[in-house]
Structure formats: structure tokens, C-alpha cells
Amino acid sequence: MPTTTDIRIENLSHLSPDEIMDRVGEIQISFPENVAKTVREIVAAVARRGDEALIEYTKHFDGATITTDTLRVTEHEMAAAREGLEPQLMEALEISAQRVQDFHRHAVPQDWDYTDGFGNVLGQKCTPLERVGIYIPGGKASYPSSLIMTAVPALTAGVREIAVVSPPSSFEAPSALCAALCLIGCTAEVYRVGGVQGVAALALGTESIRSVDKIVGPGNIYVAMAKKELFGHVDIDMVAGPSEVLIIADGTVDPRLTAVDLLAQAEHDEDARAFCVTLSAEHALQVKRWTLELAAASPRREIVAESITRNGRIYVVDDMETALRIANVIAPEHLELQIEDSRAVLPKIKHAGAIFLGWTSAEAYGDYVAGPSHVLPTGGTSRFFSPLNVLSFMKFSSIIEMSERGMRELSGPASVLADVEGLSSHGDSVRLRLDRGN
């Protein structure tokens, strides 16, 4: 923990636009070589020794003894582990699951086709992935919401087989994760193995765990590196770094709300990033005062203090255009628009995982009950990644049915392109069909 808790204010008003962008810079996800080395060693061990490696690493990293017989969590164990949970928690999980399902139902794609002017039928076939692996973190906290935010979109997309891995501590009674698993009606295979070894088992398969087609879900830097390392063996949702929020505040919103939302991000872990961009130096001071005051009272004050002192920033700029440019450069996971008319600036936002409009829209709603998945791109990757959604669990096949007229009319350009590229059999496959049709 730092000796003094602080969050730095940087006044950028005197800088040119280019200097501001250089100062703020892009957030980039990087992996230290020692992390990459450890991940590769564990992946290689799981590939060689399967279950034996899972048992060994679970003992080493989690201090838990498992066997091939206890690797999988039974339905009876899950039902027993949820005993003793508060009714309010069960109700909250149920509301969350229902709202996530309702949101994602709107996005399920349909097969489509059309007939062009030559009578060719062209279209697209949508097919759910057959088998998906979900990683749920453990350790510092329990994350039943991550199960809901990953499994429910997958089930809504039509995925039939789901395998869940999480550290053994996730299943100790009373277990909110087990409650969430039972609640969503998912007949998932559930395994008490976490970390890199859990990811590797999903990707490569072992004697007890069949490999999957895609791995989704949040995790620490080792889990993120493992997913990156195994991409190609399987698909992944994204390469994720530390969680982050950027709040644009024009001074019309209570600075306590800005401060508490910064802390809501900072309390995730010491590497979380909490940024505020404000148009007023006075407002920046108020946000800082409340941030430090609330941080001192936080039950997670040590984590919060480390996070905001190392990674927290309050930027002061002259105008909204500059604030929006900063947002698009950082491309944050969460973007809160705590401004008077947030919808008016929405068209100018190019890059963000989730956008929260107005003072009523705390990021916590998105984390738990709003509806969209809270699995979001971090580290500036919202420039090319999207939030987890039903499309994340589907693949698409093109449908091509040539009519006789279409076969003839398009044979010329097809054979010309084939000849230019030096692929004579491509051209012959078109010409031969014309000969057979005469």
C-alpha cells in the first residue's frame, strides 16, 4: 500500500491538442516476459500430462487437493453449496439473469437470403458454436455475475454444451456461483480448476475435460495471457487487461457521484484504472476531495489506495471537444458521460466498450442488472473488439446457389479473374459448366 493515498490532477488546458494526446496516450495491454514464460510452461505441461498437471498445479497455486474423481463438480455438490444463501441474493441473481436474457434475445441473428437479377440465390446461414468454455475467476472475490454475463448470452445464442472452470474456492459453501449455475438452468459441465491450467484444459482437452471451440470470461493477467497463447487452438472472446473507467464530467453532476464511480472501478484490484476528464479546475478539486474521503472509508481501502495512487488521474481540459477526443484515444472499457446532455454527444463517441449516459447510469448497473454483458474490451481494444454478445457465440456460412442464367452471365468475369491470378483450373471449372449446358 502506498504511504500516501492520492489521485493526481493534471491540468491540460495550456497544451496543444497534439501535446494533450501525447500526455494522455493510449492504454495498451502488455504481458511481462516472466508471465508469458510461466504461462507457456503450464500450457505445455497440461498438453503433455493432462489431468495429472491439473491436479499438480491446483495443489501448488490454490492449495487444494483434487483427484480425477473430484475434478468435476456434481449437481448434488452445486445444490448443497448454494444452501444458506440469502433470499435477497437469489432474487438479485434471478433478476440479473432474466434481464441479460431479455437484452440478448433482441440480437439473435436469423438466416437470410435473396435472389439477384440473374436468379441466383445468395444468403447466410447462422449456426451456434457447439461447445463453449467459460472461465470464472476466484480468489479475491466471488463472481456469480460473470457466469450470468457469459453463460446466458451463450445459451440465448443456442450453444448446447458449456464447460465452466473456476478455482476450487468458488465452490465452497455457501457458493453464489453454484446458485447462479443452478438458476440459469444450464446443464454445464463444471470443473474445480482455475488459472492457466483451467484455460489450457478447455483449449487442449485432458482425460477428464473435453476441449471446447471457444473460451470466454474474465481473469487475471495469467489467464489473459493463456487465452492469447491458445488462440488458434480455440477462439477467444478478447485479450483483456485491467478494468478501467473514464468519466467525462462537465461540472453539472454532484462530484460525490463522480468520486464514488471512480472508486467503484478502483476497488476491482490494484491495477484497475480510474480516469476523470472535467472542464473545471474547481470541479477537479472537488472530485479529488471526495475520492480521497470515500477511499479512506472503503472496506477495500488498501486496494483502492494502490489503484488510484498509481493509476488514477483527473484531467482538466478547456472544452467538451477535447474531452471527447481524449475518450476516443483511451478507448475505455467503461465510459460514463456525467454531463448535462449526454445523448447529444453520443454520436461523437467512436471507441468505448459500454457507454453510460447521464448521472443516473452508474457503471454498477451495467456490471450486474442492466442487460448487456459486462465482459467488455479493455486496454484500448474497444477500437476493434466488441462487448460479449450472442454473435460472439455464432458462426456464419455463406449460401450460394447459382441459376443457369447466373452461371452463364457471370462465367466471363469469373474466368477472367481466374486467368489473371494464374489459376487455370478455376477458369476451367467455369468454362466446363458452360460446355455442359450447351
Is the backbone of residue 427 left (phi > 0), alpha (psi -120 to 50) or beta? alpha
Identify whether 167 is preceded by a cis peptide bond (ω within 30 of 0): no
Dist CA 314 CA 437 (whole Å): 72
Residue in the structure block whose three cell numbers are 499438480: 56
Catalytic site includes residue 282? no
Which has the higher per-residue pLDDT, 13 or 262? 262
* Domain spans in the chain, listed from the N-terminal domain onward: 8-29+241-370, 33-239+390-394, 404-437
At 82 the pLDDT is 86
Burial of 126 (0-12, 13-18, 19+ CB in 10 A): middle
| pLDDT value at residue 18 | 83
Is residue 334 part of the annotated active site? The answer reads yes
Residue 17 confidence (pLDDT) above 90 = no
Cβ–Cβ < 8 Å for 70, 55: no
Average pLDDT in the 313-332 region? 94
Give 261-293 pLDDT, tens digit per residue.
999 999 988 999 999 999 999 999 999 999 999
The pLDDT of residue 4 is above 90: no
Lowest mean pLDDT segment, chosen from 103-112, 178-187, 198-207, 319-328: 178-187
- Residue 273 dihedral angles phi and psi, to the nearest 5°: -120, 125
Question: How high is the pLDDT of residue 107?
Answer: 95
Instruction: Give per-residue pLDDT as tens, 85-118.
Output: 999 999 999 999 999 999 999 999 999 999 999 9
The whole-number average pLDDT for the span 401-425 is 95
For 216-256, the pLDDT digits (tens) are 999 889 999 999 999 999 999 998 888 999 999 999 999 99
Lowest mean pLDDT among 126-135, 150-159, 181-190, 381-390: 181-190
Q: In what order do the strands lie in the sheet with 161-166?
A: 189-192, 161-166, 131-135, 214-216, 235-236
Using pLDDT thresholds of 50, 70 and 90, give the confidence band for residue 140.
low
Euclidean distance between CA atoms 95 and 103, whole angstroms: 12
Contacts of 14 (CB under 8 A, 6+ apart): none
> Band of the pLDDT at 28, cuts 50, 70, 90?
confident
CATH code given to domain 8-29+241-370: 3.40.50.1980
Record the cell numbers describing residue 106, joined without a space: 433482441
- What is d(CA 279, CA 317) in angstroms, rounded to the nearest whole number? 5
State the pLDDT at residue 30. Answer: 80
Band (pLDDT 50/70/90 cuts) for residue 438 is: low
What's residue 3's pLDDT?
61
Per annotation, catalytic residue among 104, 268, 283, 334: 334
> CB of 345 within 8 A of CB of 41?
no
- Checking if the pLDDT of 186 tops 70, the result is no
Q: Which of 267, 333, 336, 363 is catalytic?
A: 333
Q: Please state which CATH class domain 33-239+390-394 belongs to.
A: alpha beta
